[in-house]
Chains A and B, each alone.
Chain A
Amino acid sequence: MSQAAATSAVSTDPSRRARLAEFWYYFAENRGAVIGLVFFLFLVLLAVFAPWIAPHDPVAQYRDAVLVPPVWQEAGRADYLLGTDAVGRDMLSRLIYGTRFSLFVGVIVTTLSLVGGIALGVIAGYFRGWVDTVIMRVMDIILAFPSLLLALVLVAVLGPGLVNAMIAIALVFQPHFVRLTRAAVMSEKTRDYVVAAKVAGAGHGRLMFKTILPNCMAPLIVQATLSFSSAILDAAALGFLGMGAQPPTPEWGTMLAEAREFISSHWWVVTLPGIAILVTVLAINLMGDGLRDALDPKLKRS
């Protein structure tokens, strides 16, 4: 079947559309989730259009404007709405460009750990036996370490940098997806529709990924939003410890690390990147709560 035919089949399928409507109904019931979604879309726009929105180059150093306070404070300048940092870089532009890094980290880490986790989890839950044992023991080993410590050490091995930080975080997040997928696959595997597909002659691959997997997605999507926000937090933490994105990258955690010494004298260099991290993570977590309510009726709407 061609891609176009598949898409039109999806959009005309009434049950799917009804499910989407039902999903939106429950999602929209949670006001926080909608606010989170709107803010998240705003961040996506900021990230995509950063070069056009940002008033300055994020790494350009204006030597005549070092540590200028935000515009509403005395000595603030209209060119630099949120002030400048210790080497005269525009805070607002750096924060806008920072959304790119944070969303990028979230997308890549979640995709990597989701895809890897689903593959391993489906295989473990479907085949059981020694394959399952081996996979789950390896996941137990990863889970035995505090996640940030393992990520820190992995980055020490791979060398500091944003890409290596993302690989390390994805690896550390993986076991959660494996466990969730495996549990869901195991509970679906013995259902009638799976047995029916098997009797009809479906092979292992088809059974695993086409028959069973789509019915296991709800908890995985909820976990994916959670890991999206955790990935942003952990990448910022690694940046803060000097092991993530390296200066002069306008990554929020790295910006905080550079700003530490100005903590008592110039509040804006310390406060603003943290607020950016907090509201981004908060928006995604709000969305995650709404998704949980809408996708998983088994979890209480509380």
Chain B
Amino acid sequence: MQWCQRWDTMPRQRGAGFNMFRFLMGRLAVLIPTFIGVSIIAFSFIRLLPGDPVALLSGERVMSPERHAEISHQLGFDRPIVVQYLDYLWGVLQGDFGTSIVTKKPVIDQFFELFPATVELSLCAILFAVILGIPAGVVAAIKRGSAIDQAMMGTALVGFSMPIFWWGLLLIMLVSGMLQWTPVSGRISLMYFFPPVTGFMLVDSLLSGQAGAFKSAVSHLVLPTIVLGTIPLAVIARQTRSAMLEVLSEDYVRTARAKGLSTFRVVGVHALRNAMIPVVTTIGLQVGVMLAGAILTETIFSWPGIGKWMVDSVSRRDYAVIQGGLLVIAAVIMLVNLIVDLLYGLINPRIRH
């Protein structure tokens, strides 16, 4: 049996590997022009704003004509627009995403400082959504039409329709305000201070060895996780249910049932594995949704991640950060989507790219 399986899977893997390379090349052929387009948008953004881009980028409102010419030259605004763009793109490729007007720090440094907070929150939220969403979807599919199914899918639809900024306020009001269970904002209590090692507060607080630090980090994370995870949770539960329903009606599941296998085995082993394929895609698609959600969630909970950073930059009119941040964030999303696509190809043997 063992041998049989290996014999069966080997040629398939070789084929998949070959196609994977072609697939990757195909994706890059799309990704590179997209990235160039994204960089053009980021580049033109500052020039489309009402007002003088030199003044906007330097942050100096009142300037003598000499000073204006000097900064204009410094920023390269006196050169032809194509040269300016190529120069910008060249800088971007070397990691130069501009300098913040407010903090005078390179945008990319700030991004990497804040990004772990967003990643930590997003990972927890997606974990929350998967851990609750997949079992909920499976149970709803098995008990199709029952009160449990209807209740779960009704709840999922409410979750899907939730204005998450309000959901966050509501949870703060109930859990932090009335019950006093969790803190209102931030990543960890001010009592604890330790140097960031990984940037992930959960890991760093454990590494610091300070008593209570980990607990504090967890309690700060609970509400933002729920808020950010709500919509993915609803989507994953719905998607799992419909994928499961489809798989349960297929012949091989009937065969497995006819063989006399227990429901648990049929569902857990045969059906779930195949039902997971569309669900994995859904989870991958939630990456962009997460980052959009992070903008609201981080603002509500004063979570020092890139979402709040962007909102703050918009209200502070730190256009250099908006310009750089747009491009970095788009690049990260494109990269994550590429990885998800590759994983999808590995999980799903039916796809021969």
CB contact under 8 A between A282 and B295, given known A149-B326, A157-B49, A274-B170: no
What chain A residues lie within 8 Å of B157 (beta carbons)?
Answer: 32, 282, 285-286, 289
For residue B314, CB closer than 8 A to chain A, the reply is yes
CB-based contact A149/B166 at 8 Å: no
B163 in complex: contacting residue of A149, A152, A278, CB < 8 Å: A278
- Separation of A240 and B293 alpha carbons in the complex (Å): 13
Nearest opposing residue in chain A for B34, CB measure? A140
CB-based contact A278/B158 at 8 Å: yes
Within 8 A of B (CB), among A116-153: 137-138, 140-141, 143-150, 152-153
CB-based contact A149/B329 at 8 Å: yes
CB-based contact A277/B163 at 8 Å: yes
- Separation of A300 and B296 alpha carbons in the complex (Å): 34
- Separation of A187 and B319 alpha carbons in the complex (Å): 44
What chain A residues lie within 8 Å of B55 (beta carbons)?
Answer: none
CB-based contact B311/A141 at 8 Å: no
State which of A13-21, A106-114, A260-268 sits at the interface with chain B: A260-268
What chain A residues lie within 8 Å of B48 (beta carbons)?
Answer: 157
What are the interface flags for A74-107 relative to B under an 8 Å C-beta threshold, 1 for contact and 0 otherwise? Answer: 0000000000000000000000000000000000
CB contact under 8 A between A145 and B163, given known A271-B170, A300-B245: no
Q: Could you show 26 A-B contacts with beta carbons less than 8 Å apart? A: A137-B37, A140-B30, A141-B34, A141-B41, A144-B34, A144-B35, A145-B333, A146-B333, A147-B288, A148-B293, A148-B295, A149-B291, A149-B292, A149-B295, A152-B314, A153-B314, A157-B45, A157-B49, A237-B296, A240-B165, A274-B167, A274-B170, A278-B162, A282-B158, A285-B161, A289-B157
For residue A219, CB closer than 8 A to chain B, the reply is no
- Separation of A138 and B296 alpha carbons in the complex (Å): 27
Across chains A and B, the number of contacting residue pairs, with CB separation under 8 Å, is 128
Within 8 A of B (CB), among A252-302: 253, 256, 260, 263-264, 267, 270-271, 273-274, 277-278, 281-282, 285-286, 289, 300, 302
CB-based contact A144/B45 at 8 Å: no
CB-based contact B166/A256 at 8 Å: yes
Extra contacts, 7 of them, besides A148-B293, A150-B326, A302-B241 (Cβ < 8 A), are A137-B33, A137-B37, A147-B288, A152-B295, A156-B49, A256-B165, A289-B157
For residue B70, CB closer than 8 A to chain A, the reply is no
Within 8 A of B (CB), among A211-243: 229, 233, 236-237, 240-243
What chain B residues lie within 8 Å of A260 (beta carbons)?
Answer: 169
Within 8 A of A (CB), among B160-192: 160-163, 165-167, 169-170, 172-173, 177
Nearest opposing residue in chain A for B331, CB measure? A144
Minimum-distance CB pairs A-B, first 3: A274-B166, A141-B37, A146-B292
For the complex formed, measure the closest distance between the CB of A296 and the CB atoms of chain B, giving whole angstroms.
13
Q: Which has the most chain B C-beta neighbours within 10 Å: A150, A159, A302? A: A302
What chain A residues lie within 8 Å of B172 (beta carbons)?
Answer: 263
- Separation of A148 and B297 alpha carbons in the complex (Å): 12
- Separation of A282 and B296 alpha carbons in the complex (Å): 20
CB-based contact B242/A300 at 8 Å: yes
CB-based contact A242/B315 at 8 Å: yes
For residue B92, CB closer than 8 A to chain A, the reply is no
CB-based contact B292/A159 at 8 Å: no
Within 8 A of B (CB), among A148-193: 148-150, 152-153, 156-157, 159
CB-based contact B322/A277 at 8 Å: no
CB contact under 8 A between A137 and B291, given known A146-B333, A281-B163: no
- Separation of A146 and B322 alpha carbons in the complex (Å): 13
- Separation of A35 and B38 alpha carbons in the complex (Å): 43
- Separation of A289 and B154 alpha carbons in the complex (Å): 12
For the complex formed, measure the closest distance between the CB of A277 and the CB atoms of chain B, giving whole angstroms.
5
CB contact under 8 A between A302 and B170, given known A140-B37, A145-B329, A146-B288: no
What chain A residues lie within 8 Å of B109 (beta carbons)?
Answer: none
CB-based contact B173/A153 at 8 Å: no
CB contact under 8 A between A144 and B161, given known A152-B314, A157-B48, A263-B169: no
For residue B253, CB closer than 8 A to chain A, the reply is no
CB-based contact B165/A264 at 8 Å: no
Nearest opposing residue in chain A for B242, CB measure? A302
- Separation of A153 and B38 alpha carbons in the complex (Å): 13
For residue B205, CB closer than 8 A to chain A, the reply is no
CB contact under 8 A between A146 and B291, given known A263-B173, A263-B177, A300-B242: yes
For residue B299, CB closer than 8 A to chain A, the reply is yes
- Separation of A32 and B322 alpha carbons in the complex (Å): 42
Q: Which has the most chain B C-beta neighbours within 10 Å: A148, A157, A274? A: A148
- Separation of A150 and B184 alpha carbons in the complex (Å): 28
CB-based contact B329/A300 at 8 Å: no
- Separation of A302 and B245 alpha carbons in the complex (Å): 8
For residue B272, CB closer than 8 A to chain A, the reply is no
Nearest opposing residue in chain A for B245, CB measure? A302
What are the interface flags for B208-243 relative to A under an 8 Å C-beta threshold, 1 for contact and 0 otherwise? Answer: 000000000000000000000000000000000110
For residue B142, CB closer than 8 A to chain A, the reply is no
Nearest opposing residue in chain B for A259, CB measure? B169
B169 in complex: contacting residue of A138, A145, A237, A270, CB < 8 Å: A270
For residue B50, CB closer than 8 A to chain A, the reply is yes
CB contact under 8 A between A233 and B322, given known A140-B37, A144-B333, A243-B314: no
CB-based contact A278/B166 at 8 Å: yes
Nearest opposing residue in chain B for A252, CB measure? B163
